[in-house]
């Protein structure tokens, strides 16, 4: 007899729905969460301008019709505060908090071969047994703080976008440095620039951003969607990334199969529409370098059209494959570099040497600043999982099993780790899709699986070695047909020094 049937690690959107599902199915469950509130990613990423890049009518749960009917989104893309409020609403509505222990980090999970149960411990002294453990630890939850010499010596405040203080940050009158130009930086920079005295952006790799075209949601649009919400959700599930069924359909042709005129018309229409659907105008933008380059050049031209200083425009114009790193969705990012109080520093050409007590020293000059914002991303997909000491059959450590990169079956289970599930884990569609849809699919699958085990008196389940090997091979084969492996993205773990490069 275990203390609970299931331990759930994390109370973001995955952990919350898992908890709700387990209770409905009659399992006892205990969730642990490091934050002091629910929301996961949307609890931690409070930086100015934080917004979802999937539209709000789609980035929400669909497991309860009343829930989706009663919640009112206000903008095309929801802000972090609104998504966090939604997470809290869900927690209240389904009374989830009673089974979530907050401000508590799970430190270890150890499988006992004799009893076929898990023992879970936390940094607050919890020590409990469970038949199953569900890792709802998130894909982008382990902050990547670069090891830059002298980092600790800086005398002013430093903030990582993914660990933003609850009370917010006052930039008034400050000289601010932002390191990094990924999605978080691209959302934060326009707002920081408006508030601070001056802003210096340290860019290693330029990124592609398409306009969000964010706007308040129209009441007619909301009621139109709500009147057919189940059908709308079904249609989205069938889309390649589980969102965007209302985006005007692209052509069924390749980029190079149409005339220049038609190509520009398709791209222009999607640029005007805004958002992540931009890459879906043609069938092969992520398959062939020549096709991709045409789309990339279209965006570079847009950047050149916005940024006044041609040298700055060229620096901001990315050179890698478009879409290889997750496409960013922006509001006024490139325009921000026309402001007098904003400068761009190319640290690809002149790398940062060290952080000093008063600022940032690159190989060719120093920049005095009052505050540093690290928009340097995450140890994605595996970081949060491997920060827990997980030991499976025979005491095998997950850190060892994954030393050469993560291997899973369906992104849900790992050979040698019975009754352990990873929601939207490495090797699943996960971050290449609308996360909420993929989370719900995994939670529903795990719920069905646990019910089957209980109904059939089966003590443990784990993938077989051939099934896992075939799955990993399959994922790699599909990835190798695409342009995703062509750059140093977090999809590959290539943003974290020393991490094995595997398409996750």
Give the residue, chosen from 241, 291, 375, 398, that forms a contact with ligand NA7 under the rule CB under 6 A: 375
**By CB under 6 A, which span of 9-17, 124-132, 259-267, 373-381 interacts with ligand NA7?**
373-381
Phi then psi dihedrals of residue 253, to 5 deg = -115, 165
Phi, psi of 437 (to 5 degrees): -65, -45
We find the least distance from the C-beta atom of residue 160 to ligand NA7, in angstroms, to be 9
d(CA 371, CA 389): 35
Range in contact with ligand NA7 (rule: CB under 6 A) among 64-72, 192-200, 261-269, 372-380 = 372-380
Nearer to ligand NA7, 10 or 463 (CB): 10
Task: Supply 172's token pair.
Answer: 């008034």
Question: Nearer Cβ to ligand NA7, position 19 or 189?
Answer: 189
Shortest distance in whole angstroms from residue 73 CB to ligand NA7:
19
Residue ranges of alpha helices (H) inside 95-218 are 183-195
Report the number of secondary-structure helices (H) and strands (E) in the chain. 15, 18
Pick the piece of the chain touching ligand NA7 (CB under 6 A) from 77-85, 179-187, 398-406, 439-447: 179-187
68 near ligand NA7 (CB under 6 A): no
Task: Note whether 39 binds ligand NA7 by CB under 6 A.
Answer: no
In contact, 37 and 43? CB cutoff 8 Å: yes
Partner residues linked to 101 by β-bridges? 32
Write the burial class of residue 249 (CB in 10 Å: 0-12 exposed, 13-18 middle, 19+ buried). Answer: exposed
Q: How far is the CB of 349 from ligand NA7 (least distance, A)?
A: 13
Task: Give how many residues touch ligand NA7 by CB under 6 A.
Answer: 20
User: Does 185 interact with ligand NA7 (rule: CB under 6 A)?
Assistant: yes
Among 65, 271, 257, 42, CA closest to 164: 42
End-to-end C-alpha distance for the chain, whole angstroms? 36
Is residue 388 within the footprint of ligand NA7 (CB under 6 A)?
Answer: no
Q: Does 183 participate in binding ligand NA7 (rule CB under 6 A)? A: yes
Residue 495 near ligand NA7 by CB under 6 A = yes
Can you tell me whether residue 299 is helix, strand or coil? helix
Q: Are 229 and 57 in contact (CB under 8 A)?
A: no
Containing 106, the helix (H) or strand (E) segment is strand 106-112
Stretch that binds ligand NA7, among 21-29, 81-89, 166-174, 374-382 (CB under 6 A): 374-382
- 23 binds ligand NA7 per the rule CB under 6 A: no
SS3 190: helix
What's the CA gap between 353 and 371, in Å, rounded?
A: 17
Q: Is 204 in the site for ligand NA7 (CB under 6 A)?
A: yes
- Minimum distance, C-beta of residue 10 to ligand NA7, in the bound complex (Å): 17
- Single residue of 180, 250, 277, 383 touching ligand NA7 by CB under 6 A: 180
Cβ-contact 33, 102 below 8 angstroms: yes
Among 10, 12, 37, 182, binds ligand NA7 (CB under 6 A): 182
Q: Which is nearer to ligand NA7, 196 or 355 (CB)?
A: 355
Helical (H) or strand (E) element with 24: helix 13-25
CB of 199 to ligand NA7, least distance (A): 15
Q: Which of residues 108-167 bind ligand NA7 (CB under 6 A)?
A: 140, 146, 161
Furthest C-alpha separation in the chain: 69
| Residue whose beta carbon is closest to ligand NA7 | 182
Sequence-separated (6 or more) residues with CB below 8 Å from residue 474:
none
Q: Shortest CA distance to 161 belongs to which of 331, 83, 44, 78?
A: 44
Q: By CB under 6 A, tell whether 205 contacts ligand NA7.
A: yes
- Evaluate whether 211 touches 330 at the Cβ level (below 8 Å): yes
| Stretch of residues binding ligand NA7 (CB under 6 A), selected from 225-233, 375-383, 401-409, 478-486 | 375-383
Question: What is the Cα–Cα distance from 372 to 150, expressed in whole angstroms?
Answer: 13
Our CB check for ligand NA7 shows the closer of 359 and 377 to be: 377
Q: State in angstroms the smallest separation of the CB of 312 from ligand NA7.
A: 17
Applying CB under 6 A, does 184 fall inside the site for ligand NA7?
Answer: yes
- The least distance separating ligand NA7 from the CB of residue 184, rounded to whole angstroms, comes to 3
Lookup: tokens for 354: 């060290």
Restricted to residues 460-489, the positions that interact with ligand NA7 (CB under 6 A) are 488
Break the chain down into helix, strand, coil percent, rounded to 5.
35, 20, 45
**Closer by beta carbon to ligand NA7, 23 or else 326:** 326
d(CA 203, CA 187): 15
23, 237, 273, 326: residue in contact with ligand NA7 (rule CB under 6 A): 326
The number of beta carbons lying within 10 Å of the beta carbon of residue 127 is: 10
Residues from 73 through 102 that contact ligand NA7 (CB under 6 A):
none
* Tally of residues, the chain: 504
One residue of 131, 376, 382, 424 binding ligand NA7 per CB under 6 A: 376
Of 113-121, 183-191, 363-371, 407-415, the segment contacting ligand NA7 by CB under 6 A is 183-191
* Residue numbers at the binding site for ligand NA7 (CB under 6 A): 140, 146, 161, 179-185, 204-205, 326, 347, 375-377, 488, 490, 495
């Amino acid at each position: 007899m275990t203390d609970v049937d299931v331990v759930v690690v994390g109370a973001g959107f995955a952990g919350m729905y898992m908890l709700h599902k387990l209770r409905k199915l009659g399992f006892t469950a205990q969730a642990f969460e490091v934050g002091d509130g629910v929301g996961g990613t949307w609890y931690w990423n409070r930086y100015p301008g934080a917004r979802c890049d999937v539209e709000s009518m789609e980035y929400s749960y669909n497991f309860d019709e009343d829930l989706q009917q009663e919640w009112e989104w206000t903008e095309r893309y929801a802000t972090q505060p609104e998504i966090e409020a939604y997470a809290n609403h869900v927690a209240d509505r389904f009374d989830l908090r009673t089974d979530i222990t907050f401000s508590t980090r799970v430190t270890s999970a150890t499988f006992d071969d004799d009893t076929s149960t898990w023992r879970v411990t936390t940094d607050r002294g919890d020590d409990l047994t469970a038949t199953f453990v569900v890792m709802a630890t998130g894909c982008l939850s382990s902050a990547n703080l670069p090891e830059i010499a002298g980092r600790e010596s800086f005398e002013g405040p430093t903030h990582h976008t993914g660990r933003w203080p609850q009370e917010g940050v006052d930039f008034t009158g400050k000289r601010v440095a932002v390191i990094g130009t990924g999605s978080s930086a691209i959302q934060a920079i326009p707002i920081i620039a408006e508030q601070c005295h001056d802003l210096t952006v340290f860019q290693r790799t330029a990124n592609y951003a398409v306009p969000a075209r964010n706007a308040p949601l129209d009441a007619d649009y909301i009621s139109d969607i709500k009147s057919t919400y189940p059908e709308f959700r079904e249609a989205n599930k069938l889309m390649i990334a589980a969102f965007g069924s209302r985006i005007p359909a692209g052509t069924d042709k390749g980029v190079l199969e149409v005339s220049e005129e038609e190509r520009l018309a398709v791209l222009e229409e999607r640029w005007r529409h805004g958002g992540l659907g931009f890459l879906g105008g043609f069938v092969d933008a992520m398959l062939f370098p020549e096709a991709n380059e045409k789309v990339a050049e279209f965006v570079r031209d847009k950047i050149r059209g916005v940024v006044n200083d041609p040298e700055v425009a060229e620096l901001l114009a990315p050179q890698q494959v478009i879409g290889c790193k997750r496409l960013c969705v922006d509001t006024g990012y490139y325009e921000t570099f026309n402001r007098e109080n904003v400068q761009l520093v190319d640290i690809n050409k002149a790398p940062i040497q060290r952080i000093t007590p008063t600022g940032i020293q690159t190989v060719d000059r120093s920049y005095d600043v009052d505050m540093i914002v690290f928009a340097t991303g995450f140890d994605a997909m595996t970081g949060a999982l491997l920060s827990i000491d997980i030991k499976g059959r025979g005491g095998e450590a997950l850190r060892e099993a994954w030393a050469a990169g993560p291997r899973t079956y369906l992104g849900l289970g790992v050979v040698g780790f019975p009754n352990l599930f990873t929601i939207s884990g490495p090797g699943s569609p996960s971050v290449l899709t609308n996360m909420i849809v993929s989370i719900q699919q995994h939670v529903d699958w795990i719920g069905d699986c646990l019910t089957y085990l209980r109904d059939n008196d089966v003590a443990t389940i784990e993938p077989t070695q051939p099934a896992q090997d075939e799955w990993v091979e399959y994922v790699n084969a599909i990835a190798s047909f695409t342009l995703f492996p062509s750059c140093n993205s977090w999809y590959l773990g290539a943003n974290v020094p020393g991490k094995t490069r595997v398409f996750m």
